Structure 1
């Protein structure tokens, strides 16, 4: 299933990319969002590129899938080309029949705002309820993205 979404920040593309490229931002963001169990598995920022890989426990309650309730360890990887403002992103929920990846791009929108565009591909390998699971995950991603933007906006001034 394809799923496109956008996140808007009240800062320029340069400011938001500077924030995204900072490992401390990701740690503070997750803590601010109430995610207590996470680990930065990988982080690099050099030669105009940025990569971060974070494992975090997220609550899961998927209708119709009793085995998918409780929490899941999700490994989230972002690979950014800071000059182009583009990224390849993946999310791997452990023990769940899902694959999720996207292309992202960030563009300025006026003098002091930018928009991050995410074009996700969500694939569930569960017969019968797979499509329902994909739709649920897309909706859940929208909600979590809104929480991430709120947390991110709190820290923008540190990167201006």
Structure 2
């Protein structure tokens, strides 16, 4: 399943990138969105690079289909890795990987944060796959729907805190 989004901000590309690079703001974001036990295992910055390796627990919710319940508990542990690079045109590119403990899906994606006339835009493309026989497609679709909801919640949070 493919998940895409285009998140417009009135804040500058540098301000949104700084948000992504701050342990404090990212922690506050996940806490506000209902995650728990957030921690950054690695945050490495260079002149034009950023690497983040984080962990958190996210609530699954009640809407999980019965046939998929064996893959998810009440809370799922998530590992998210982002590798950002600044491009010569002032934009930033990110390779993203998300692993959910005990859930047999592969989540990989790309983000491009680029300046625009009145702020910036973050273009997100995520691919979710599962090779589990019989239920893999349903599992990928369920994770994809949750990913879309999470991305929208994160977008609204970032907009509300960065565009004051």
TM-score after normalising by structure 1: 0.88
Instruction: Kindly indicate whether residue 38 of structure 2 is the aligned counterpart of residue 32 of structure 1.
Output: no
> Per-residue displacement from partner, 1:68-119 (whole Å, max 9, x unpaired)?
241110001111113441000110001111110101111233323x221112
Q: Distance in 2 between matches of 1:34 and 1:4?
A: 23
| Structure 2: runs of 5 or more not aligned | none
Q: Distance in 1 between matches of 2:56 and 2:155?
A: 18
The one of 58, 72, 76 aligned to 2:76: 72
Give the structure 1 partner of residue 113 of structure 2. 106
> Per-residue displacement from partner, 1:104-156 (whole Å, max 9, x unpaired)?
111233323x2211121211121112111111111111111111112212331
4+ runs deviating over 6 angstroms:
none
> Per-residue displacement from partner, 1:18-70 (whole Å, max 9, x unpaired)?
22122221111112223222111111111211111111111225312121241
SS in 2 for 1:26: helix
- The CA RMSD over aligned residues, in Å, is 1.8
> Between Structure 1 and Structure 2, how many residues are aligned?
157
